Amino acid sequence: MAQDRIPIIFDTDFVMPPHDDSMALMLALQSPEFEILGITTVAGNESVERATSDALRMLEIANQAAIPVYVGANMPLVHAKSDYAVRNYGNWHSDESPEAPPGGFATKKAEDESAVSFIIRTVMSQPQQVTLVAIGPLTNIAQAIRNEPGFAKNVKRLVIMGGAVALLPDGAGNITPNAEFNFWVDPEAAYVTLRSGIPIELSPLNVSRKSALTKDWYDKMVAVDTPLTRLLKTTMGERFEAEPDRSWFMYDQIAVASIIDPSLVTTERLYVDVNFDHGISYGVSVGGQDIWPGAEGAQQMDVQFDLDWPRFIEMFIERVQKPVK
């Protein structure tokens, strides 16, 4: 029954596997618990053009081209392209045309309506019904909050992959010593979003670091032939051949899985805020049990820090091995 499904908007800096966004979307597409109202793209791992063309192609591969895709922000709210950004990580600033995804560009096109317009329209027409799944920089979400004063109080729930919390185990950053990539790309957007009043569940690096995708798990994953496992083989096979003893973290996939089965993760209720001063702590998220000086106005949220890894990866494998629709 449609009424039992969780209506979600999937906001993503999408790139084909081995990037996590595409594996997270596979999981969502293959999970009957969800009704995916739309996919909104944002610059992050790569440019918004790349995010959009890869997402469109993924929907064709999964035989779910009826799901609409909306193009979002091509730049963070404030953060300008810097030598550091270009040198170190991410390609969100690129204005080069994206390379063709596996199998070529989709014939399906993105919608004319903007991502922010779609997000606002959808939430406002179904007050307190829609869950936002935000697994890229929070630029689109912050714009929706800023553009429509009634938006935040009408979102049912927001699940974010982002941040790293030093108060909990494994709280180091991944782009600077203490900053996580999604928040670092657009810390002003993260600040606006985390302080918006929307009920938030945060899936930070702390919980990502409880995952370990080894070659053994990968081999199990691709042991059944479907369009999705074929794509995983094409795009991930080489890395496991080259470094068979290495394991890889999973990020966005955990955020999505935790909506399907909240018992997969352990959370702690913390105040979380984000720094955007242009210094050594740019983009750093800080979590505390109580408000601390400077964090007045910060909001409490559920912060994931532990994961039932075997149960999570078994669910992931079971879902991607199901026949596509």
Give the binding site for Ca ion (CB under 5 A). 13, 21, 135-136, 252
Residue among 13 and 186 whose Cβ is closer to Ca ion: 13
In the complex, minimum distance from the CB of residue 161 to Ca ion, in angstroms, rounded to a whole number: 6
Asked if the peptide bond before residue 18 counts as cis, ω within 30 degrees of 0, the response is: yes
Q: Which element (helix H / strand E) includes 28?
A: helix 20-29
Cα(260)–Cα(7) distance, integer angstroms: 12
CB 140 within 8 A of CB 73: yes
The amino acid sitting at 47 is S
Q: How far is the CB of 279 from Ca ion (least distance, A)?
A: 25
As measured in angstroms, the least distance from the Cβ of 219 to Ca ion is: 25
Q: What is the smallest separation between the CB atom of 175 and Ca ion, expressed in angstroms? A: 13
The SS3 call for residue 12 is strand
Alpha-carbon gap, residue 108 to 127, rounded angstroms? 30
Nearer to Ca ion, 251 or 276 (CB): 251
Output the six-digit token pair for 188.
């002003």
Strand ranges of the sheet holding 69-71, from the earlier edge strand across to the other edge: 69-71, 34-41, 6-12, 131-134, 157-161, 200-203, 299-307, 265-274, 285-288
Report the candidate in 198, 299, 315 with the shortest Cα–Cα distance to residue 254. 315
Cβ pair 178, 187 in contact under 8 A: no
**Distance, first Cα to last Cα, the chain:** 17
- When the beta carbons of 92 and 312 are compared against Ca ion, the nearer one is 92
Contact yes or no for 312/224 (Cβ under 8 A):
no
Question: Least CB distance from residue 182 to Ca ion, whole Å?
Answer: 6
Q: Please identify, using beta-carbon distances, which residue of 181 and 282 lies nearer to Ca ion.
A: 181
Contact 187, 282 (CB under 8 A): yes
| Residues 139 and 17: beta-carbon distance below 8 Å | no
Nearer to Ca ion, 182 or 271 (CB): 182
Min. distance of Cβ 251 from Ca ion in angstroms?
Answer: 7
CB neighbourhood size of 173 (10 A): 21
CB closer to Ca ion, 44 vs 287? 44
Q: For residues 40 and 271, which CB has a smaller minimum distance to Ca ion in the complex? A: 40
Q: Residue 256 and residue 22: Cα distance in Å, rounded?
A: 11
Residue among 75 and 135 whose Cβ is closer to Ca ion: 135
> Whole-number minimum distance, CB 11 to Ca ion, in Å?
9
Nearer to Ca ion, 119 or 298 (CB): 119
CA–CA–CA angle 174, 230, 316 (5° rounding): 55
